[in-house]
Structure 1
């Protein structure tokens, strides 16, 4: 007698896909990546292009200085720039004032958030310290002080301009910090949900009249 061969039943995973059955999405070069929660992450190709200016700013160092550290940085930078000004430009106060502005901006950007108020105070002190090597002196301590006061009086515009730049940057950072904290508080309140309301009072029972 002839025996008919019987094929073993195939599992649904080993069966070839039928026509018209969509294949599961796979992460390729052009596709979107899937996260563990099932959400899709944007492909790098879909990201907006970054300008060269933004890339240069991101590569720039971004330290966080304390109030004392920002003051020391500003004072040391202005003193070093004043000595360089004396060697290269013959103690030009205009060059010193121009170099003072970017130092003020860096001081306001690099100071940490907790010490933002100290930056506008440290900038004028650093300006006065930097004037010591290039101020005209008639000899002695008194002549040095008179030359310093004269330089401050005749070139106060640079001092006001640098202080104004520092104040504007610090104010913008403070406003952004406050708005960010407010947004975090709103997000935390939204996640927590509404709190339990006041308990309802029991209905008042009618009083019985006694004759």
Structure 2
């Protein structure tokens, strides 16, 4: 009786000898314990040891498919991209304007295209949250204190509502189109 894949120890599996042959199966020689250490010569003075860590997919060829984001990855990417666009716009022009809005549109598009299918609702949700967070962190402050922050946030959202609705709508439309296309593919099977 064969074991389940989950209960087998990690490593290469040995194949049973094929039937009808008389030769014995010779196991592969064992690798030394420090096989991950490779020597790399620098300037010729002496070899130095370099640790080569196992990395998933290092030796595997790329298939051409883009990397997919999880729901948490979508939120992190939305916040990072929107804050980067807001910071660049603030640095270059002294306020939040055209560069911030265009950066938000690019971030929303990328989120909607790269999110995994089970996490599709995360793209239209994380965009506006990142937009509000960027306004709160980088936006202008009208008065000191919590009330000043809230008034500045409300004013910033009101002034930039066009960018907010356009980016959120773009992400929503792309996610809806992806969902419909995936449903049609599943029905066709």
* TM-score normalised according to structure 2 size: 0.62
Matches of 2:72 and 2:138 in 1, distance apart?
25
Based on CA coordinates, which of the two structures has the bigger radius of gyration? 1
Q: 1:159 aligns with which of 164, 180, 187?
A: 164
Unaligned 5+ segments in structure 1 are: 1-57, 185-211
* Coordinate RMSD, CA, aligned: 1.7
Asked if the contact 2:68–2:115 (Cα under 8 Å) also holds between the matched residues in 1, the reply is yes
Matches of 1:154 and 1:81 in 2, distance apart?
17
The answer for the alignment partner of 2:184 in structure 1 is 179
Q: 1:170 aligns with which of 171, 175, 178?
A: 175
The answer for the alignment partner of 2:155 in structure 1 is 150
Q: Secondary structure at the match of 2:138?
A: coil
Q: CA deviation at 1:86?
A: 1.1
Q: Secondary structure at the match of 2:136?
A: coil
* TM-score normalised according to structure 1 size: 0.56
The answer for the alignment partner of 2:72 in structure 1 is 68
Unaligned 5+ segments in structure 2 are: 1-62
Q: Secondary structure at the match of 2:67?
A: coil
Q: Secondary structure at the match of 2:187?
A: helix
Asked if the contact 2:96–2:139 (Cα under 8 Å) also holds between the matched residues in 1, the reply is no
Superposition map of 1:81-160 within 5 A: 81-137=85-141, 138-160=143-165
Asked if the contact 1:135–1:144 (Cα under 8 Å) also holds between the matched residues in 2, the reply is no
Asked if the contact 1:100–1:162 (Cα under 8 Å) also holds between the matched residues in 2, the reply is yes
Q: CA deviation at 1:91?
A: 1.6
Number of equivalenced pairs? 126
Post-superposition Cα deviations, 1:154-189, rounded to whole Å, max 9, x if no partner, equal 1111110001100110011111101111111xxxxx
